[in-house]
Structure 1
């Protein structure tokens, strides 16, 4: 359905502008325009306060795996809140944190059996870096504090996680940040500087850049490598064949921890509960959050191998780190119910069974002159926009502002699709629907995007 008409500012919208400081938002954009107010969700759809319906093409923010309006998850939250609404996991335990930690350890690969709870993904990344630093100090390598991550990658907003992030524009307002974070090329084969026609060779090259950076900095100074299974920022970069196996070998050779940042990719987004399983590697730490509860309550975690946890379980040693709401009883209870729902409804299997159809449907958009590439994995895809298909020439800053933000982003929403149009890296549209989405949803997305991009091309 079309919602192209201009929305009037309602009382709630006006109050939102006056008092609600929205995240990653140009607040000036709403000085004279209404703030969109979403009031209800059901399945893969959302409704605003004026009753207009939208397809949720981003699962909220890569979060609502099981879909909106799952009453059973809300009821579990209410039940747990009535029994034990809050208790910290600072030197104490409570049943739901114990059960969830055991459940995550069961599903995690290898010997990743220890679970440190946070309240979100950025905190999980922050936890992993601090853990890596203290681990190396405890094991006789106090100089190993640096981390390596990839260009354009987003790992969170806390000071440490932001340092690991590879987006200069996001970091500049807050510098100086935490020292010791270094960047290597990402796996965007569409813009590969070498081996663009040979995915395996490109994968070896990209992995070898990590080893070169370790050697350049000195292996005795590097604590960890942080990588997303499929890189989010820049528009969904899947790993080339053999990439993670080679990275694992490199990390082992130099005594460097491998952190799989699965804040977006875990819990079925790629069709497996933990995304590292999709690509056949075992990290030392998994960071996760978002889909663990399908967004019905906030929680995150660092899932840690027995080997890395071992020195913290000896003598008077402790990990000097924690969060008040980490392992919150209500969130842990909801996460357990969400995992039950995953198993009962076969959500991971559903993604694996339908990921090719999703890719094929979005792939039809390649016939548009403005579409340079369509890429991704599972239910997580990006569409890169260009102004010259033959040369892959991207938008200028002015064109990106005018076309991507001034037209495409607004028009997609007005035409009934909530998703992300972004130019962190090159201009992309990102799509990450709830895991219950089917072919009818894929086709509705494609049709809306096609109509908007066809019109956008006339503005170049």
Structure 2
């Protein structure tokens, strides 16, 4: 077997010095590295608004906001200036028993925006760390309140919650875990809200939602309520392609969590900060969690930052005597990222981006739904500026593609073809094959139309090859 390390670039392929350096030294995330030994990697050189520009000079519409991150668009001078101003004043200081001004101000701003009594903000460097923090604080909270056996977490099948050992244990994607097992013990799964492939009540969305919520109660009872600390759910599940909660779903989950004294964690790493037209998506879907995890859009990607936001009930035992939370991160609450996030939130308010999403989400959905006339498109689903297009082999039966077809479609063809045609988005097959779309919140009908046209042309081309 030839190893990646022994594969040499083909003599006929020309690598620039920068591309050669990337080939020889850069280990990219979630990426097969072998192909880059034989062909140059694409390099994004600069960006402006909703557009990316690569090292070949091609304009590419950013249909994924980088990675569900760049809410206010690329190239915002005031965000770059905010970072420079704070870095010049105070570039770094840890949030370990001593505070900085932007970190306090951002915590105050987030607490004011969060629902109910979610007033306590613990900063992290990103989303996976926020989920890791939520599980750790849930475990310790119950130890401090006399229920030390409560340590398990219920999440949903196929859900993604991060890559650290704890967050990965909460993640419901077996293939992502195999290389790293054994994982942190305590993660268990219940059904998700994929209505397109509903195993029960496929003709009644409300009944299906109640059925799915009741599977969470079933999981709690199966594990024992005295051992379950938290239920961790995304408002709209990312992995699998935008599973939207049915009406009444989260209200029933809230009832279940209250019944068994289980914390409800709303994992809003993707969904917060306008992706669904509200600062926190739980507000849109009508439930109040005990903890919110968030990151990505908080700074629109102009600085790495995340947070766990807990309610006063959870904070109360940590305010007693010598109790403390023995957990933290070097870059959690970085003052530069916090300063940038404050200006980012100013842009949201000044430009009315939440309302813009609410005003335009129906148009985005209806534009994408035009693709349902293609034989390869089985379902178009989503909410706000977060949509998924599920691809099928047979529309009538909802038959999906086999392993070889998925390999070609999702791993080999679509990523490059969509980029070559001028659209950056996310082909994914962690469940069934989907194309995910989440453009910057400054996008409008012109961008929706361009997305639809590029996806249509690309799918028409690939249909002929399958």
TM-score, with length taken from structure 1: 0.98
From 93, 97, 103, the equivalent of 2:99 is 93
The answer to whether the 8 Å contact 1:120/1:290 transfers is yes
Deviation at 1:354, TM superposition (A): 0.3
Q: C-alpha distance in 2, partners of 1:31/1:99? A: 47
User: Which residue in the other structure is 1:342 paired with?
Assistant: 348
Q: CA deviation at 1:10?
A: 2.5
What is the Cα deviation at residue 457 of structure 1? 1.2
Note the alpha carbon deviations across 1:260-282, whole angstroms, 9 max, x for none: 00000000001100010010100
65, 89, 96: which one pairs with 1:83? 89
Deviation at 1:321, TM superposition (A): 0.4
Matched with 2:204 is: 198
Say which SS state the counterpart of residue 138 (structure 2) adopts: helix
Instruction: Answer yes or no: is 1:392 the counterpart of 2:398.
Output: yes
Please tell me whether the aligned partners of residues 13 and 38 of structure 2 are also in contact (alpha carbons under 8 angstroms).
no
The alignment partner of 2:61 has SS state of strand
- 2:9 corresponds in structure 1 to none
Residue 286 of structure 2 is matched in structure 1 by: 280
1:221 aligns with 2:227: yes
Which residue number corresponds to residue 465 of structure 2?
A: 459
Match of 1:146 in 2: 152
Q: Give 1:405 deviation, angstroms.
A: 2.0
* Deviation at residue 66 of structure 1 after TM alignment: 0.2
Cα distance, 1:64 vs. partner? 0.2
1:114 to 2:117 alignment: no
Distance 1:35 1:356 in 2: 36
Residue 179 of structure 1 corresponds to which residue in structure 2? 185
Native 8 Å contact 1:258 1:285 kept in 2: yes
Q: CA RMSD in A?
A: 1.0
Does the aligned pair in 2 maintain the 1:296–1:334 contact within 8 Å? yes
Deviation at 1:458, TM superposition (A): 1.4
CA distance in 1, matches of 2:416, 2:392: 18
Equivalent-residue separation in structure 1 for 2:295 and 2:68 (angstroms): 10
Q: Note the alpha carbon deviations across 1:185-214, whole angstroms, 9 max, x for none.
A: 110000000111101000000000000000
Question: Does 2:320 match 1:314?
Answer: yes
Out of 132, 139, 164, which is 1:133 matched to? 139
- Cα distance in 2 for residues equivalent to 1:126 and 1:8: 43
CA 1:314–1:185: 2 relative to 1, 3 Å: same
Deviations 1:204-256 (A, max 9, x none): 00000000000011000000000000000000100011000000000000000
Pick one of 56, 64, 69 that aligns with 1:58.
64
Tell me if the contact between 1:259 and 1:287 (Cα under 8 Å) persists in the aligned partners.
yes
3-state SS in 2 of match to 1:258: strand
- Matching residue of 1:408: 414
CA drift at 1:33:
1.2
**CA deviation after TM superposition for structure 1 residue 407, in Å:** 1.5
Report if the CA contact (8 A) 1:403-1:459 is conserved: no
CA shift, 1:11, in A, is 2.2
Matched, 1:358 2:369: no
Pick closer, same or farther for the CA change 1:362–1:102 going to 2, 3 Å. same
Provide the rounded CA distance (Å) in 2 between the counterparts of 1:333 and 1:384: 39
The residue aligned with 1:329 is: 335
Establish whether residue 167 from structure 1 lines up as the match of residue 179 from structure 2.
Answer: no
Q: Specify the SS of the correspondent of 1:444.
A: helix
After superposition, residues 265-276 of structure 1 pair within 5 angstroms as: 265-276=271-282
Distance (whole Å) between structure 1 residues aligned to residue 115 and residue 35 of structure 2? 45
- Alignment match, 2:54: 48
Residue of structure 2 equivalent to 1:241: 247
Q: CA deviation at 1:404?
A: 2.2
Residues paired across the two proteins, number: 455
Structure 2: where are the runs of 5+ without partners? 1-11
Q: State the alpha-carbon separation in 2 of the partners of residues 251 and 426 from structure 1.
A: 30
Cα pair 2:153 2:230 within 8 Å, conserved: yes
Matched, 1:207 2:217: no
Contact persistence 2:364–2:448 (CA under 8 A) = yes
Report the counterpart of residue 3 of structure 1 in structure 2. Answer: none
Query: In structure 2, what is the Cα distance between the partners aligned to 1:283 and 1:324?
Result: 27
Q: Does 1:422 align with 2:431?
A: no
Residues in 2 aligned to 1:29 and 1:251: alpha-carbon distance in whole angstroms:
47
Moved over 3 A (4+): 6-9
Deviation of the 1:406 alpha carbon: 1.8
Deviations 1:21-74 (A, max 9, x none): 100000002111111100101000000112111000000000000000000000
Shift, 1:7, TM fit: 9.6
Residues in 2 aligned to 1:7 and 1:81: alpha-carbon distance in whole angstroms: 42
Q: Post-superposition shift, 1:8?
A: 5.6
